[in-house]
C-alpha cells in the first residue's frame, strides 16, 4: 500500500494539470462531494491548502476520512491579529480564502468529522514565501527582516506567535477511537 498517488479536484483544469505530473499516478475531476472510490481505498488522504477555500469544509473532510485511513490537513492559521487587518483580508479574498482557521477550529472540524488530531505542527512561513514577489533590494530586505522576526518570535513563544501572525499548520487526523 501507499504506492499509488491519485488526485481529485473540482476543477477540470487542475485535475488535467495534475495528471501530467510524473509523481501522480492518476488525477480526475470530482463533484466536490463524493469521491468516486470505495471506503478506505487509501492509506493517506491529503487536504493541502484546500479547506480554507471550501464554503463548508466538514463534508469534504468527512468524505476524505471515508476513503483514507488517515488524513493530513494543511491550512494557514489565519485567525490572528495580523490577519485581521483589512489589507490581509483583501489578500485572502483575492486568493479565495473563505475561512480564517485557528488550531482549535481544525481540532473541532476533525472531531465533527469523526477524527482526532493525533499530531500537529506549526511553522512560520519561510523566507521563500515572504520574498516571493520581492523584486527590489528594499523589498527583499523587508521580506528577510519579516521572516527573521517571525522565526525568532515563533522560536521563543510559539503560541504567542500563533496569536500574532499567520503560521503554516499541518495536522495528522486519525479515526476517533470509539
In whole angstroms, what is the distance from residue 137 CA to residue 51 CA?
Answer: 35
Residue 14 lies in a domain: no
Residue 79 lies in a domain: yes
Residue 158 lies in a domain: yes
Per-residue pLDDT of the chain (178 residues; tens, 9 = 90+): 458 899 998 888 988 999 999 999 999 999 888 999 999 999 999 999 999 999 999 999 999 999 999 999 999 999 988 888 988 888 888 888 899 999 999 999 999 999 999 999 999 989 999 999 999 999 999 999 999 999 999 999 999 999 999 999 999 999 987 5
Structural domain span for residue 122: 31-175
Q: pTM of this prediction?
A: 0.87
What CATH number is attached to the domain comprising 79? 3.40.50.150
**Count of structural domains within the chain:** 1
Residue 23 lies in a domain: no
Amino acid at each position: 500500500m501507499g504506492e499509488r498517488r491519485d488526485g481529485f479536484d473540482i476543477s477540470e483544469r487542475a485535475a488535467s494539470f495534475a495528471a501530467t505530473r510524473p509523481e501522480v499516478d492518476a488525477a480526475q475531476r470530482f463533484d466536490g462531494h463524493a469521491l468516486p472510490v470505495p471506503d478506505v481505498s487509501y492509506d493517506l488522504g491529503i487536504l493541502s491548502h484546500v479547506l480554507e477555500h471550501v464554503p463548508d469544509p466538514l463534508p469534504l473532510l468527512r468524505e476524505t476520512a471515508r476513503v483514507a485511513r488517515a488524513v493530513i490537513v494543511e491550512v494557514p492559521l489565519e485567525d490572528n491579529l495580523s490577519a485581521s487587518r483589512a489589507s490581509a483580508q483583501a489578500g485572502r479574498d483575492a486568493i479565495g480564502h473563505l475561512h480564517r482557521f485557528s488550531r482549535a477550529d481544525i481540532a473541532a472540524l476533525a472531531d465533527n468529522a469523526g477524527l482526532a488530531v493525533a499530531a500537529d505542527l506549526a511553522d512560520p512561513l519561510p523566507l521563500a514565501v515572504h520574498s516571493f514577489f520581492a523584486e527590489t533590494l528594499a523589498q527583499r530586505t523587508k521580506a528577510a527582516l519579516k521572516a527573521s522576526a517571525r522565526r525568532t518570535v515563533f522560536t521563543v513563544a510559539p503560541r504567542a506567535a500563533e496569536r500574532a501572525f499567520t503560521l503554516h499548520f499541518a495536522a495528522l487526523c486519525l479515526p476517533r477511537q470509539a
